[in-house]
Amino acid sequence: MSFDLVLFGGTGDLAWRKLMPALFQAFRHGTLPEGGRIIGIGRDDLSDAQYRELIRARFDNVELAKRPKPEEFERFAGLLHFLRMDLTQPQDYGRLATTLRDRNAQTVVMYLATAPDLFTRVCEQLAAAGLNLPNTRLVLEKPLGHDLASNREINDVVRGVLDERQIFRIDHYLGKPAVQNLFAMRFGNALFEPLWRREHISNIQITIAEDMGVEKRGAFYDKTGALRDMVQNHALQLLCALAMEPPINSHADAIRDEKLKVLRSLVKWTPETLDQHVVRGQYAAGNVGGQLVPGYREEKGVDPESRTETFVALRAEIASWRWAGVPFYIRTGKRLAAREAHILVNFREAPHPIYQAPRNSWNRLVINLQPRDGVQLHLLAQGQENRRNGAMLEPVHLDLDFDKRFGSERVGAYERLLLDVIAGRLNLFVRSDEQEAAWRWVEPIMEHWAADTHGPRPYTAGTWGPSASSAMIARDGFCWSEEC
Ligand code: BG6
């Protein structure tokens, strides 16, 4: 199948860091359809040869196992082209149209890896140049707006020029192998479904912790914060995957309909729950991995009096027969104690205990997302040591490591998503109504914070966030994984 992949922002950070390495991996794995062309778009005046050379040099920063050998790069470079465009100039879209018409590929992917404030302009100009054809696919990177109104504005423009089935909104968490395994575990096995409900599950915890700070993105992050950067999208998508009903089939809309139902069933915020069930924090100087690191307000590009949150912990509930009364805790933050993302599904205690068990040793399913990718099932067993103490059980666990089982050369998130766009598979992309429902749910939190004079609670870099986050979960009688 012939394709043209037009990469707006072809000399930008995302292209270097994620997209080119992912495209190369797909090329190496032989999964990138043959007969493709990758056209980088940028403002510089570069020839194809110069663009190829720039990309070759960037691969030097990629980990050795994923770096092309010279002859491999030669072959990959044959796909790479460059077109200079000023995205504000209509005539430049005419030149793009000519470049694409000459080849007439079966599929044309327009990937907007640009600053988000260009999204609507680029879409309008693509349409004006007659480039919104039935074989066009548009890929949008987050952030898609900074609130419900701006998100709708973008979606309205995009949907005005293309059909929803031509629009691929990326949430790269959906491309992670571990997240696809969560779907497979729930809907490909009969074992969990009967237990996957309020009668058996006492609470669910989603942790997406990062040990790094805002790196070079201080100015962007200061206008964004953890709620918009991580909760509105990645964390809520994970919550949907955990809480959704089994879809009627594996088609994109069947899956997205069920995710949308979850987002619409999230219990609305009240002044009381906004006060008690949401914690925001901001990192202060501390020690991460044995190194002293500055506080958030000292980071480059950040306002020294910034009130932007770098940590959020919250307690959500879903109003449905399956989940009524089960708390879903979400926490995410920068400069935490470790880079670690996992989900804990905590089951209820045995209804009639005839054994003694250590405290907090309930059955638990741990879904590790990163850096490890796998599943652990925590159970209680009769060990030998405690025989003397009567019937005291011991915690044990079954441990499944997907990297070991399936090999570490697995398809990465961007590789998966790019291949799906080219193939026209929408399953792992977010529909506009999902995005809007997610914004509708987080917006009251943003408004509450804007009106609240206290600002985020400071936490020392290298810890697990402000103590109010532990207090929030402890009020329900539970604890975060590292505390139990
Ligand atoms: C991005 C956020 O969407 O996800 C970043 O903008 C964050 O701030 C990143 O660091 C985390 O992704 P991953 O795949 O490293 O967990």
pLDDT at residue 54 tops 90: yes
Centre of ligand 1 from the C-alpha of residue 229, in Å: 8
> Percent of the chain beyond pLDDT 90?
88
Among 141, 161, 193, give the residue marking a domain's end: 141
Q: Assign 353 a pLDDT band (cuts: 50, 70, 90).
A: confident
Query: Which CATH number goes with the domain that contains 22?
Result: 3.40.50.720
Centre of ligand 1 from the C-alpha of residue 39, in Å: 26
Mean pLDDT across the chain, nearest whole number? 95
pLDDT at residue 303 tops 60: yes
Domain enclosing residue 9, as ranges: 3-141
Centre of ligand 1 from the C-alpha of residue 174, in Å: 12
pLDDT at residue 183 tops 60: yes
| Ligand 1 atom having least distance to the Cα of 214 | 8
Are residues 250 and 106 part of one domain? no
ω into 143 cis (within 30 of 0)? yes
The number of folded domains in the chain is: 2
| Ligand 1 atom having least distance to the Cα of 413 | 14
pLDDT at residue 61 tops 90: no
| Ligand 1 atom having least distance to the Cα of 176 | 14
> Which tens digits make up the pLDDT trace of 6-32?
999 999 999 999 999 999 999 999 999
Measured by CA distance, the residue closest to atom 5 of ligand 1 is 229
> Percent of the chain beyond pLDDT 70?
98
Contacts of 42 (CB under 8 A, 6+ apart): 9, 10, 11, 12, 82, 84, 85
Any domain includes 454: yes
Among 122, 141, 160, give the residue marking a domain's end: 141
Are residues 179 and 137 part of one domain? no
229 lines ligand 1 (CB under 6 A): yes
What is the Rg, in whole angstroms, of the alpha carbon atoms belonging to the chain?
24
Are residues 135 and 183 part of one domain? no
* pLDDT recorded at residue 390: 64
| Start-to-end C-alpha separation, the chain | 53
Any domain includes 183: yes
Centre of ligand 1 from the C-alpha of residue 128, in Å: 34
| Ligand 1 atom having least distance to the Cα of 234 | 3
* pLDDT recorded at residue 385: 65
DSSP, residue by residue, 18-31: IIHHHHHHHHHTT-
Are residues 137 and 180 part of one domain? no
* pLDDT recorded at residue 392: 87
Any domain includes 150: no
Give the active site residues.
234
Q: What is the mean pLDDT of residues 384-412?
A: 81
SS3 per residue for 179-191: HHHHHHHHHCCCC
Any domain includes 325: yes
Any domain includes 129: yes
Q: Assign 359 a pLDDT band (cuts: 50, 70, 90).
A: confident
Q: Which amino acid is at 480?
A: W
Centre of ligand 1 from the C-alpha of residue 215, in Å: 12
Helix (H, G, I), strand (E, B) or coil at 141: coil
Any domain includes 146: no
pLDDT at residue 347 tops 80: yes
Cβ(284)–Cβ(458) below 8 Å? yes
* pLDDT recorded at residue 391: 72
* pLDDT recorded at residue 126: 97
> Maximum CA pair distance of the chain?
84
> Which tens digits make up the pLDDT trace of 207-218?
999 999 999 999
Are residues 225 and 131 part of one domain? no
Q: What is the mean pLDDT of residues 458-472?
A: 98
141 lines ligand 1 (CB under 6 A): no
Are residues 407 and 281 part of one domain? yes
210 lines ligand 1 (CB under 6 A): yes
309 lines ligand 1 (CB under 6 A): no
Q: Assign 408 a pLDDT band (cuts: 50, 70, 90).
A: low
- Only one residue has tokens 């500055």, namely 294
pLDDT at residue 386 tops 60: no
Taking the C-alpha atoms of residue 469 and residue 278, their distance in angstroms, rounded to an integer, is: 8
Are residues 323 and 188 part of one domain? yes
Any domain includes 431: yes
Cβ(399)–Cβ(405) below 8 Å? no
- Only one residue has tokens 């959020």, namely 312
Measured by CA distance, the residue closest to atom 8 of ligand 1 is 229
Measured by CA distance, the residue closest to atom 2 of ligand 1 is 229
Q: Assign 388 a pLDDT band (cuts: 50, 70, 90).
A: low
Are residues 233 and 103 part of one domain? no
pLDDT at residue 371 tops 70: yes
* pLDDT recorded at residue 387: 59
Are residues 183 and 105 part of one domain? no
Q: What is the mean pLDDT of residues 122-128?
A: 97
Any domain includes 405: yes
Cβ(82)–Cβ(117) below 8 Å? no
Q: Which of 174, 234, 368 to mutate to test the pocket of ligand 1 (most atoms within 8 A of CB)?
A: 234
Centre of ligand 1 from the C-alpha of residue 226, in Å: 10
| Ligand 1 atom having least distance to the Cα of 217 | 8
* pLDDT recorded at residue 361: 85
